[in-house]
Amino acid sequence: METSTDIKEVVRSAYAGIAGQSKEQNAASCCGVGGCSTVDYTIFAEDYSKMKGYVADADLGLGCGVPTEFAQIREGDLVVDLGSGAGNDAFVARAITGPAGKVIGIDMTPEMIDKARNNADTLGFNNVEFRIGDIENIPMAANRADVVISNCVLNLVPDKARAFQEMHRILKPGGHFSVSDVVLQGELPDGLRNDAEMYAGCVSGAIQLDTYLALLHQVGFTNVTVQKKRQVSLPTDILSAYLTPDEVTQMQSDDIAGKGIYSITVYGEKPPASCSPDSGCC
């Protein structure tokens, strides 16, 4: 994987295959699409089943958190879900924002967009819209969204600074985001960091937590806060497909020592329109 285009094609291909599977199939295959040669997408997932608005057919077990739980969505809000997949988070957000609000899902995989639209049509939802698009160039006008959410997708984006800039652009002044994502503390072994399948599986595309938070500040977000953080340990059988036995042992020791792979949910705000760099309010 040498270019941004190569990375996106790997991700698009992987998630096109997953779109044809159920959550149970993803889990039963042990490692996502294609058998045990690939990473297990369900390792990161959290349980949505008791949340208002949950739609089982839209839950493919691909998230790494529950951003809607922390997103402070209000009735009537316009919510944008980046990397909306089959619609899981979008439908939960819809239940919160109510009939007076709207949810727009953005995804670059046509198969996922088709699945999400079919789910919405089946359920008769007329205030949920799904658009094909790239998170580095979101197909939406500036200053429109009240809330941006995303679940285990931004780590897949090659140019994360650009993606964060786009989040900032589409939010209204005073709007905010809550996103769940995968980050690192400490360096990954080369076998994990450089493998294309591990990128599509949310691992090698992850960046350092401190870098992630710094990028959010750099594009202009304020009150950036980690709302939830949990360590994720990859099973030995998956690690062994990419690492030597000594590297597996070291990786598992790092997990115990507080280094490794983490799922986080992060909140941040776009300052109000009156807040400029020289005003003192930032």
Residue 275 inside a domain? The answer is: no
281 in a structural domain: no
Work out the average pLDDT over 251-261: 79
How confident is the prediction for the chain on average, in pLDDT? Answer: 84
Cβ proximity of 189 and 160 under 8 Å: no
Number of domains in the chain: 1
Q: Given this model, what pLDDT does residue 14 score?
A: 75
User: Do the bridges between strand 171-185 and strand 102-107 make them parallel or antiparallel, or are there none, so unpaired?
Assistant: unpaired
Let me know if residue 261 belongs to a domain.
Answer: yes
40 part of a folded domain:
yes
Task: Give the Cα separation of 238 and 113 in Å (integer).
Answer: 29
User: What separation, in Å, do the N-terminal and C-terminal C-alpha atoms of the chain show?
Assistant: 39
Q: What is the CATH number of the domain that holds 205?
A: 3.40.50.150
DSSP-based three-state secondary structure for 230: strand
* 73-130 pLDDT, tens digit each: 999 999 999 999 999 999 999 999 999 999 999 999 999 999 999 999 999 999 999 9
Picking from 37-41, 192-196, 221-225, which range would have the lowest pLDDT averaged per residue? 37-41
**195-232 as b/e, with b when 16 or more CB fall inside 10 Å?**
bbbbbbbbbbbbbebeebbebbeebbbeebeebbeeeb
Identify the pLDDT of residue 34.
40
The whole-number average pLDDT for the span 189-194 is: 74
Chain segment 140-191, per-residue pLDDT in tens: 999 999 999 999 899 888 899 999 999 999 999 999 999 999 898 888 777 7
Is the residue at 246 inside a domain?
A: yes
Domain membership flag for residue 90: yes
CA dihedral 32, 34, 35, 36 (to 10 degrees): -80
CA distances from residue 12 to 210, 234, 236, 253, 278 in whole angstroms, order as listed: 28, 23, 27, 33, 42
Instruction: Flag whether 157 is in a domain.
Output: yes
For residue 235, the tally of other CB atoms under 10 A from its CB is: 12
Take residue 273 and report the two structure tokens written for it.
């329109």
Residue 40, pLDDT > 60, answer no
**Mean pLDDT, residues 130-134:** 97
Q: Is residue 147 part of a domain?
A: yes
Q: Which of 20-34, 82-96, 129-143, 192-206 is predicted with the least confidence, judged by mean pLDDT?
A: 20-34
User: Picking from 4-13, 105-114, 202-211, 256-265, which range would have the lowest pLDDT averaged per residue?
Assistant: 4-13
SS3 content of the chain, % helix, strand, coil (to 5): 40, 20, 40
pLDDT computed for residue 30 by the predictor: 33
Phi then psi for residue 16, to 5 deg, are: -65, -40
Structural domain boundaries, residue 64: 4-269
pLDDT number for residue 140: 97
Determine the pLDDT at residue 44: 66
Higher-confidence residue: 40 or 162? Answer: 162
pLDDT at position 32 over 80: no
Residue 24 has pLDDT above 70, yes or no: no
